[in-house]
Amino acid sequence: MVEVVGTAPTSAMVITKFIYRHSWKTNIINIKGIKIDSTSIMKLTKEQLEEIKNQQSQSNQTKRVTVAELEKILYEAMPALDHGFVRVVDYMGDDTSIVQSARVSYGKGTKQVSTDKGLIKYLMRHWHSTPFEMCEIKYHIKLPIFIARQWIRHRTANVNEYSARYSILDKEFYLPTSENLAAQSISNRQGRGDIIDGEQAKEVLKLLKDDAERTYSNYETMLNERYDGTTIDENKKGLARELARMNLTLNTYTQWYWKTDLLNLMNFLRLRADHHAQYEIRVYADIMLDTLKKWVPITYEAFMDYRVGGTEVSAKGKLTIQKLIKGEKTSLEDSGLSKREWNELMESFNLKDSVIKK
């Protein structure tokens, strides 16, 4: 029997002070901030810190596998963007759970692989996915609504979001830093281009801030209730919360519990930690990537090698690379690849001189 600090038996508790907190004392914004580059960086209140401390001080007996490095950050709020955070609140399994599952499945077929590390690399290399589904992790995440709507496209997770029908949303909005204000990309319809700076940047930030504050003020007026729970006008009835919420801007923060298995977590991170992903969701993915490393370090190493650091090559692309290795001449026209495919292939192998620019 192992004694573990703050593990699963009590981790299912909802942290009410993180979610329903109308009694807190701040007048302008519920989570206090420190000013850096004119934006507020998340700083937890005494109540929140005490709640985390109480959870982390729990001791429970368990026969399950536990991971010391992940236990160290269990329940901890890791800051993301200006008011967001990522917290690991529960997990099941570790690297050995993957190996155990694989050996049950393949039996004698794994005898050629002498180590757990070798087996996990084999599974990752050959896209054997089921053993990775045997591990699960649950996060508590605070994020802007527009990022939540992008995130929810990953449908292979269990999600329970803060209910704006039941509670009043916090008076907290995401405002990008100046270096993350960029124009629309000319070549990519869903990407960013050159940085917007100077007076135009100030104008954009002011618009974002003013719109968020104005719509939140209207939200309170419609509710006839302030975010701290006090009534505005005793002689008026407030609009239903499920209706009043429609007026809020998409940079308003929401929260959810997000539980997924290891396989689908890696699928998520492969896309959202990539440099092509939107900056705001990539911030969260980078934090979660670090939790992956703490949780399943052997799997993390294989994931970074074969999925993040590796590249997929089509049959035509493979033939092109084989010709280049042999010193044979090849061209876009001979390869059967599109210009975009050709350039992606050349960039993947750092053959920048072969990239077609026009």
Which pLDDT band holds residue 193 (cuts at 50, 70, 90)? Answer: low
More confident residue, 114 or 194: 194
Question: Is 24's pLDDT higher than 50?
Answer: no
First vs last Cα of the chain: how many Å apart? 66
Q: Quick one: pLDDT at residue 182? A: 76
Q: pLDDT over 90 for what percent of the chain? A: 63
Tell me the pLDDT of the chain averaged across its residues.
Answer: 84
Q: How far are the Cα atoms of 1, 10, 60, 351 from residue 63, in angstroms, in the given order?
A: 5, 15, 10, 52
The pLDDT of residue 107 is 55
| Residue 192 bears catalytic tag | no
State how far the Cα of 154 lies from the Cα of 137, in Å rounded to an integer.
Answer: 15
Contact partners, residue 56, CB within 8 Å, separation at least 6: 5, 6, 74, 75, 76
| Residue 285 pLDDT | 97
What local confidence, expressed as pLDDT, does residue 37 receive?
38
Whether the pLDDT of residue 297 is over 80: the answer is: yes
Q: 8-22, 36-50, 284-298: which range is least confident on average?
A: 8-22
CA–CA separation, 229 vs 223, rounded Å? Answer: 10
Judged against a pLDDT cut of 60, whether residue 338 lies above it is answered with yes
Residue 9 φ/ψ, nearest 5 degrees? -50, -30
Give the model's pLDDT for residue 64.
86
The token pair at 47 is: 């109540």
- DSSP-derived pairing of the beta strands 192-195 and 33-36: unpaired
> Which pLDDT score is estimated for 38?
34
pLDDT computed for residue 112 by the predictor: 47
Distance CA 41, CA 53 (A): 21
Instruction: Give residue 192's pLDDT band: very low, low, confident or very high (50, 70, 90).
Output: low
Q: What backbone phi and psi angles, to 5 degrees, belong to 195?
A: -65, 135
Dihedral angle, C-alpha 175, 179, 185, 190, nearest 10 °: -40
What's the pLDDT at 227? 82
Identify the weakest region by mean pLDDT among 36-50, 120-134, 166-180, 249-263.
36-50
- CA–CA separation, 354 and 348 (whole Å): 11
Report the pLDDT averaged over residues 183-206.
Answer: 77
Taking alpha carbons only, the member of 221, 229, 279, 228 closest to residue 248 is 221
Share of the chain above pLDDT 70, in %: 83
Ranges of H-type helices in 136-261: 145-151, 198-223, 241-244
Q: How many CB atoms lie within 10 A of CB 265?
A: 27
pLDDT tens per residue across span 25-72: 332 333 333 333 333 456 677 887 888 888 888 877 888 899 999 999
Cα distances (Å, whole numbers) of residue 12 to 19, 57, 63, 139? 14, 15, 18, 11
Contact at 8 Å (CB) between 120 and 298? yes
Q: Mean pLDDT, to the nearest integer, of 201-222?
A: 93
**Confidence tier at 259 by pLDDT (50, 70, 90):** very high
Q: Is the pLDDT of residue 273 over 90?
A: yes
DSSP annotation of 247:
G
Secondary-structure class of domain 2-94+135-168+256-308 per CATH: alpha beta
In which residue ranges of the chain is CATH 3.30.70.3180 found?
2-94+135-168+256-308
Q: pLDDT at residue 17 above 80?
A: no
Nearest Cα to 205, choosing from 171, 172, 182?
182
Q: What whole-number distance in Å separates Cα of residue 208 and Cα of residue 68?
A: 42
102 burial (CB, 10 Å; 0-12 / 13-18 / 19+) is buried
Distance CA 18, CA 139 (A): 13
Residue of 272, 282, 307, 340 with catalytic role: 272
pTM above 0.95, yes or no: no
pLDDT of residue 14: 41
- Residue 86's pLDDT is 97
The rounded Cα 58 to chain-centroid distance in angstroms is 27
Q: Could you report the per-residue pLDDT of 103-160, keeping only the tens digit for each?
A: 886 555 455 445 889 999 999 999 999 999 999 999 999 999 999 999 999 999 999 9
